[in-house]
Chains A and B, each alone.
Chain A
Amino acid sequence: MADLRADELEIGESDDVVRVRQLVRDAAVELGFSIVDQTKVVTAASELARNTYTYGGGGHFRIELLNSGSRHGMRLTFEDDGPGIPDIEQALRDGYTTGSGLGMGLGGARRLVNEFHIESKAGGGTRIVATRWR
């Protein structure tokens, strides 16, 4: 018997990154995540939300709470209609940058979650689905 609750918000300005963090943190607390796992998933969400804002030109965030039997977790979806990522493999490799600084944080975010799916192509927008179990 699955227990599914969801929430969403538009990522249109940099303040929305903080809102995404808060939504994810509240969910992690509700799901009973350990402190370390809370920190990991909220940080991953922060990286991905910021990417959506900075590189995707803004987009859409959705969080679903997955509570079925013995599995407890959350699924985070980040979507944008931005320029897309031409070379996903390279983006996932650490140190990849399109601008100054520490890069897109994609590889790092991937390591912080359990499941990570990314669809993107040049000029075609980006969709990232990250799942973290308790």
Chain B
Amino acid sequence: MSTTPTSRLTDIVSRHQEELLNEWVEAQRTAAARRMDLITDVDLVRESRELLGLLQRALADGDGSDIDGPRWEPVRDFLSGLSRSRAASGFSPSETAMFVFSLKQPLLARLSNEFGDDAQALSQIVWEMTALLDRLGLLTTEEYQKGRESVIARQQRELIELSTPVVKLWDGVVAVPLIGTLDSERTQIVMESLLERIVETNSTMAIIDITGVPTVDTLVAQHLLKTVAAARLMGADCVISGIRPQIAQTIVHLGLTLSEVTTKATMADAIAHALDASGLRIAPAIGD
């Protein structure tokens, strides 16, 4: 039998699995961070048992030092899922991490029993065990972090989309009035949502009005032109309206050609153009 510290750890976890589970669950129950309101005892025991089982298998299969490797994937997956479900239940990231850390005490007790006399071996294996559980605990925190980040990213995107709605003017024509400073990211998001709306509404014309945009830099101008090109590739035409004199100058100075893009000075002109192209016109209602 090999005597590497990891295999001793595996050995101990295997032989004392039930005791470890009981002591660990007990430690969680009495801990200040018990949160009886957020998790039932049944679930607590079930989750602890499952992690212990996965831990034992991962240790048996492979190296305790390579928790990024494929053998530890079941443990990583379990902890990711646990972190997410605990966060959803209302646990703080520390409370979730404590779930993992509180396993140290029972393990420590077992290790002391096994290696009591051999100070060097004991300190070695205690180090291995601590390092392992620290990293697993940190994993739950990282997962929490990722979850927060994706919520923030989603909310940001929704905010941008909501603030620049693409409106259908009438059958076949949509318009997006851009307002405020355009940065690269916002422009890209708006442009993507414009193209999506074109498909959804089967519109063959889109009016992009930039009356409310104070300045247009190279990047934004390029995004606009790329959007027009993309819309054309899809089978729709774009009209850019609301180009103020300063912006016209900027565009010329930047050396960008707008020769293939229909431009109108005002939104009203663009709408007139769209009406004309649609074969429609606005006429007074027939009086009674």
Measuring CB to CB, which residues of chain A are less than 8 angstroms from any residue of chain B?
A: 1-4, 32, 36, 69-70
Question: Mind listing 15 A-B residue pairs with CB under 8 Å?
Answer: A1-B68, A1-B135, A1-B138, A1-B139, A1-B142, A2-B68, A3-B68, A4-B68, A32-B150, A36-B192, A69-B142, A69-B145, A70-B145, A70-B146, A70-B149
CB closest chain-B residue, reference A134? B153
Contacts of B146 in A (CB 8 A): 70
Contacts of A32 in B (CB 8 A): 150
Given contacts A36-B192, A70-B146, 11 further A-B contacts (CB under 8 A): A1-B68, A1-B135, A1-B139, A1-B142, A2-B68, A3-B68, A4-B68, A32-B150, A69-B142, A69-B145, A70-B145
CB closest chain-A residue, reference B135? A1
Contacts of B138 in A (CB 8 A): 1
Q: In the complex, A69→B145 CA distance in Å?
A: 9
Interface of B is mostly: helix
Q: In the complex, A32→B146 CA distance in Å?
A: 12
Contacts of B149 in A (CB 8 A): 70
Contacts of B139 in A (CB 8 A): 1
CB closest chain-B residue, reference A35? B192
Q: In the complex, A75→B205 CA distance in Å?
A: 39
Q: In the complex, A36→B230 CA distance in Å?
A: 13
Question: Separation in Å of the B186 CB from the closest CB of chain A?
Answer: 15
Q: In the complex, A69→B192 CA distance in Å?
A: 28
Contacts of B142 in A (CB 8 A): 1, 69
Contacts of A2 in B (CB 8 A): 68
Bitwise, B166-185 to A at CB < 8 A (1) or not (0) is: 00000000000000000000
Q: In the complex, A129→B288 CA distance in Å?
A: 74
Question: Separation in Å of the B110 CB from the closest CB of chain A?
Answer: 27
Question: Separation in Å of the A65 CB from the closest CB of chain B?
Answer: 12
Question: Separation in Å of the B130 CB from the closest CB of chain A?
Answer: 16
CB closest chain-A residue, reference B149? A70
Bitwise, B6-43 to A at CB < 8 A (1) or not (0) is: 00000000000000000000000000000000000000
Question: Separation in Å of the A35 CB from the closest CB of chain B?
Answer: 9
